[in-house]
Amino acid sequence: MKRRIFIAATGSALLLAACGRSASAKGTLEVYKLSTCGCCGVWGNYMERHGHAVNAHNLYDVSPKKREYGVPGELESCHTARIGGYTVEGHIPAEVVDKLLAERPQIDGIAMPGMPDGSPGMPGVKRDTWTIYALKGGRYSVYMRI
């Protein structure tokens, strides 16, 4: 009887470990946000549902992180994230982050300025085309439009 319990417990532990690994197989997003910002938490939950582990860092001021990672002021949003050596600024959809990680372009990161209606983590309905910018050496250019 003890052997069966041990085998069942071991099997359950292995299954849980495997599920945990698959949930973060895409990598861990280090998310820098204000502790009072609810939409950042909603975006983090959305990214977790899309296979990314999320490690949230609640800060008093996110600006130093934005400067550290080269986010131009005109492209800022409410949170800044890092994954796979890239900066991810704002409410960027998971499929765009996945594309970035799969293609590994020679850029510093991507940014979607502001807090567009209907974007992941934001209420409302998507009304306009979203422009996502590539960041490189303090400059930026269009990465994609969706």
* Angstrom distance (rounded) from CA 116 to CA 130: 8
Q: Model confidence over 101-133: pLDDT tens digits?
A: 999 999 999 999 999 889 888 899 999 999 999
pLDDT of residue 10: 37
pLDDT of residue 146: 94
If you write DSSP's letter for every residue of 43-103 in order, what string do you get?
HHHHHHHTT-EEEEEEES--HHHHHHTT--GGG--S-EEEETTEEEESS--HHHHHHHHHH
* Angstrom distance (rounded) from CA 1 to CA 70: 60
User: Which phi-psi region, left, alpha or beta, contains residue 116 (left: φ > 0; alpha: ψ -120 to 50)?
Assistant: beta
pLDDT at 1 over 50: no
Q: Model confidence over 25-40: pLDDT tens digits?
A: 788 999 999 988 888 8
To the nearest whole number, what is the mean pLDDT of the chain? 85
pLDDT of residue 8: 39
49: Cβ–Cβ under 8 A, 6 or more apart, which residues? none
Confidence bin at 7 (pLDDT 50/70/90)? very low
Q: What is the CATH number of domain 27-145?
A: 3.40.30
Note the pTM of the prediction, 2 decimals. Answer: 0.81
